[in-house]
Structure 1
Amino acid sequence: MSPATKSKMTTLRFKDRIALYYVLATAALVAAAYLVVFGVVHHRVYLDLDADLRYEVAKHRQEVSLAGRTIRFAHKDEWEEREHREVQVDPVFIQITDPRGQLLDRSPNLKGEQLTFDATPAGRVPFNSQLRGTAIRQVQVRLAAAGGGPAGYLLAAISSEAAQHVLASLRLVLLGSYPVVLLALFGGARLLAGRSIAPITQITAATNRITRSNLAERIALPPRPDELHTLASAINGLLHRVEQAVAREKQFTADASHELRTPLAVLRGTLEVLIRKPRSAAEYVESITLGMHEIDRLTHLVEQLLLLARFENHAKSLRRQELSVLSCVHEVLHRRRADLSAKRIRVDVEDGVSATIVSDPFLVDLILDNVLANAIKYSPAGSTIGVALALGTSHLSCAITDQGIGIRPDDLARIFDPLYRSEALAHKHIDGTGLGLSIVAKACELLAIERTVASTLGQGTAFTLVFPMGGAAVPDGPQGS
């Protein structure tokens, strides 16, 4: 197919392309069927014609007598039969020749004409010829002399005009009906294709009506559970996910605006108080310290927001390497030693194995840091945090358990949403932005880490991370921090 043809094909409507492809495929099948029909009829017509011709040869051969090399008819009056005198009644033409093809005798209906003599073996097979502009079917039979040599040949022919007419009529009908059949097939296929893709048109129209302002609208499902039903269901599922994403985006924007506005409002209020009248050095120090605290809070919030934004493209830049989860836990606890000391919290690391995994060290450290920071933040003074590592057949699990305030069952499904804090008003003394667990969820998704949370209000929370395995496991004993 040429590029120009391909270009034209792509400009056709979808239902026209379906109809055209169907017609092209059907055209080949119809052409093959027509050829088979014509071949069968052609074979049958000539088979019957040759049977009649052989019958006439056998009948007239019995009337021929041989005396040495002389050929004569036993009953000369047979030459006067009606079939030899009248051309209109399926005439039979008979001719006798010597071995060299010289005419010896012929039927009266040949008049001054002669049948075509062919001394080659091809002449012994029925073949088509012409006699006075009329189509005939001809064959020649060798007449053997007493010694076994050829005494001459008997040539017989019958008219094949009727057979030629039948074949010509059939050829005309087939050739004439071929384009008509193809046009009818194209029209029918186009109509059926139009009806078949009508639900797709409806789905397209419904999809075009759905915008950001009406994401709750859904596509009506076709009544039959076919491919179109599956397509509509898939689109509805996609719309549901998009609606949820947009809702989360709106909620995130509102929460982020609120979180950013709060420290800015505190800074503005503090500065307004300072400029109203002269203050003592102690008051200036106190206000500046408060302002710096709000700036730090704002900086931390912005950094976490930027980190969440970078996660969208971080999958392409993962730097996987072999690392020890146990070592990562101890590194995080070392960084958090000041917070642990201030609240007199003990961390018991109970691990039966020290195993390595293949993962991104930055993200693994980020996950463990946020989970342990939450455990420290929400644990009461003098409590204990447990870290337990367990090795499975294809994974390494890390369970971090605290004795903190716990999470309400209704809030467990939302703690990974950006800027969401469970009962934030009831715990105003606990700093936080609500982004830590969102960062954990994104990082776990990138690294294919399974995460589960179990919590009992007022008793504590257990956070379990299941890392895909990589590397070898080495037995080790329990440690404490």
Structure 2
Amino acid sequence: MPQLPGNATFRGRLTWRWTIAVGLLLGAANLTIYVAARSYLAAWLDGQVRTLAATEAASSTDGLEDVHLHEKTFAEFDAGAFTEKLVQIFDASHTLVLQTTGLERLPPVVPDEAVAAALAGHSSLLSTEVQGRPLRMAVVRAMRDDRPFAVAVGLFTDDIVHGLENLALLLTVVWIVCVSATATIGYVLAGRALAPVARITERAAWIARGNFGARLDPPAAHDEVGRMTVLLNSMLDRLQAAVEANRRFAADASHELRGPLTAVVGEIDVTLRHPRAADEYLETLRRVRARIDELTALTGDLMLLVRAQERAHDIVRREIALE
């Protein structure tokens, strides 16, 4: 299936796929109509040709005269004009002995194999052309005084061919019009169907710019888009709660860490104001180490709080003695 460029909109891709699907279905339907019409006309034509061949074979050997044709006289034909029926009669030596009036100069149009088969009693159907005109023929056997003849009767199929060409043209025009209308209607309907999604996208973009307290508009219907809106609002609630929790955590952590750090800095500043004995430096280092231990314990408590908020670890509850 042909593909649209990667930067095509979802609306465009949806319309494209819908149009392709309808086009394929309509094309298959048109092809079915054309094939059915062609098959029907071919079967009808073969029936007509067989009937004419049987009639001509019977009428060409009736009466007292030798094998002959039953048709209009030459004077009734326009000069150089074709009749819609062509008849050629061959004797046992495969020689053309009679053919349609006005076409006496026409060479045999029936293959020698078909003539031989007809003389042997096997009728056949064949398609050929006579001076550029399509012809459908039936070749059958006729008997006259125990002498076999091959009677070939054909109908010119110009009208049928032109009719099928016009039908193909009509079906093509119908296909183009229907596919164009489908693409237009599909594009409009896709736009209407995706309008709620477009509004959600615009609202979500506005929220993403920092307006975390805002929410998507309540759904007008409890369909797929409505359920998606409810889920997105629920997700935004959880995200806002997480953002607020992080802000509180940052403020609490800053407050809790500021005291021990200030004490450490104060101890160091006091010690460095003037030279001291080694014992005094050691005492200062011990107090700084104690403050650092407090900071380490506080950091561990804060990390435990973060994990609890993120539900990274299950909190184990157990009873403890208060004494």
TM-score range, shorter chain: 0.7 to 0.9
Preserved CA contact (<8 Å) 1:95 1:115: yes
- Alpha-carbon distance, 1:228 to partner: 2.0
Letter in 1 for 2:185: G
Using the alignment, how far apart are the partners of 2:82 and 2:110 within structure 1? 25
Preserved CA contact (<8 Å) 1:92 1:156: yes
Using the alignment, how far apart are the partners of 1:272 and 1:129 within structure 2? 116
Using the alignment, how far apart are the partners of 1:71 and 1:221 within structure 2? 98
| 1:72 alignment partner in structure 2 | 67
Given the alignment of the two structures, is residue 119 of structure 1 paired with residue 118 of structure 2, yes or no?
Answer: no
Q: Cα distance 1:49–1:115, how it changes in 2: closer, same or farther (>3 A)?
A: farther
Using the alignment, how far apart are the partners of 1:439 and 1:243 within structure 2? 16
| 1:11 alignment partner in structure 2 | 7
Using the alignment, how far apart are the partners of 2:55 and 2:308 within structure 1? 102
- TM (norm. structure 2) is 0.76
Using the alignment, how far apart are the partners of 2:138 and 2:31 within structure 1? 28
- Deviation sequence 1:405-443 (CA, Å, 0-9, x none): xxxxxxxxxxxxxxxxxxxxxxxxxxxxxx5xx267379
Using the alignment, how far apart are the partners of 2:189 and 2:93 within structure 1? 69
- Deviation sequence 1:5-28 (CA, Å, 0-9, x none): 86x620222211222222233333
- Alpha-carbon distance, 1:269 to partner: 7.6
Letter in 2 for 1:245: A
- Alpha-carbon distance, 1:114 to partner: 4.8
Using the alignment, how far apart are the partners of 1:162 and 1:99 within structure 2? 34
Match of 1:45 among 22, 41, 54: 41
| 1:170 alignment partner in structure 2 | 167
Given the alignment of the two structures, is residue 24 of structure 1 paired with residue 8 of structure 2, yes or no?
Answer: no
- Alpha-carbon distance, 1:71 to partner: 5.1
Letter in 2 for 1:161: D
What's the secondary structure of 1:52's corresponding residue?
helix
Q: Cα distance 1:94–1:295, how it changes in 2: closer, same or farther (>3 A)?
A: closer
What's the secondary structure of 1:152's corresponding residue?
strand
- Alpha-carbon distance, 1:99 to partner: 3.0
Greater CA drift, 191-200 or 138-147: 138-147
Letter in 2 for 1:28: L
Preserved CA contact (<8 Å) 1:137 1:158: yes
Letter in 2 for 1:57: A
Match of 2:226 among 212, 224, 229: 229
Letter in 2 for 1:184: A
Preserved CA contact (<8 Å) 2:67 2:144: no
- TM (norm. structure 1) is 0.53
Match of 2:88 among 95, 114, 119: 95
- Deviation sequence 1:258-285 (CA, Å, 0-9, x none): 2122334556788899999xxxxxxxx9
- Deviation sequence 1:15-47 (CA, Å, 0-9, x none): 112222222333332322222111111111222
Identical-residue share of aligned pairs (%):
24
- Alpha-carbon distance, 1:216 to partner: 1.9
Q: Write 1 or 2 for the structure with the bigger share of helix.
A: 2
What's the secondary structure of 1:46's corresponding residue?
helix
What's the secondary structure of 2:149's corresponding residue?
strand
1:275-286 equivalences under 5 Å are: none
Greater CA drift, 86-95 or 187-196: 86-95
- Deviation sequence 1:144-198 (CA, Å, 0-9, x none): 5676xx7121111223122111101112223344344333322222222222222
- Deviation sequence 1:329-351 (CA, Å, 0-9, x none): xxxxxxxxxxxxxxxxxxxxxxx
| 1:137 alignment partner in structure 2 | 136
Q: Cα distance 1:112–1:263, how it changes in 2: closer, same or farther (>3 A)?
A: same
- Alpha-carbon distance, 1:245 to partner: 0.4
1:220-299 equivalences under 5 Å are: 220-264=217-261, 294-299=291-296
Give the number of aligned pairs: 304
What's the secondary structure of 1:110's corresponding residue?
coil
Q: Which has the higher contact order (CA 8 A, sep 6+)?
A: 2
Preserved CA contact (<8 Å) 2:73 2:101: no
Using the alignment, how far apart are the partners of 1:140 and 1:269 within structure 2? 123
- Alpha-carbon distance, 1:206 to partner: 0.4
Match of 2:192 among 189, 195, 205: 195
Preserved CA contact (<8 Å) 2:138 2:153: yes
What's the secondary structure of 2:112's corresponding residue?
coil
Letter in 2 for 1:224: A
Match of 2:216 among 206, 216, 219: 219
Q: Cα distance 1:66–1:118, how it changes in 2: closer, same or farther (>3 A)?
A: farther
- Deviation sequence 1:85-135 (CA, Å, 0-9, x none): 579997433221113431222232435335511233598443333334433
Using the alignment, how far apart are the partners of 1:224 and 1:126 within structure 2? 67
Q: Cα distance 1:61–1:300, how it changes in 2: closer, same or farther (>3 A)?
A: same
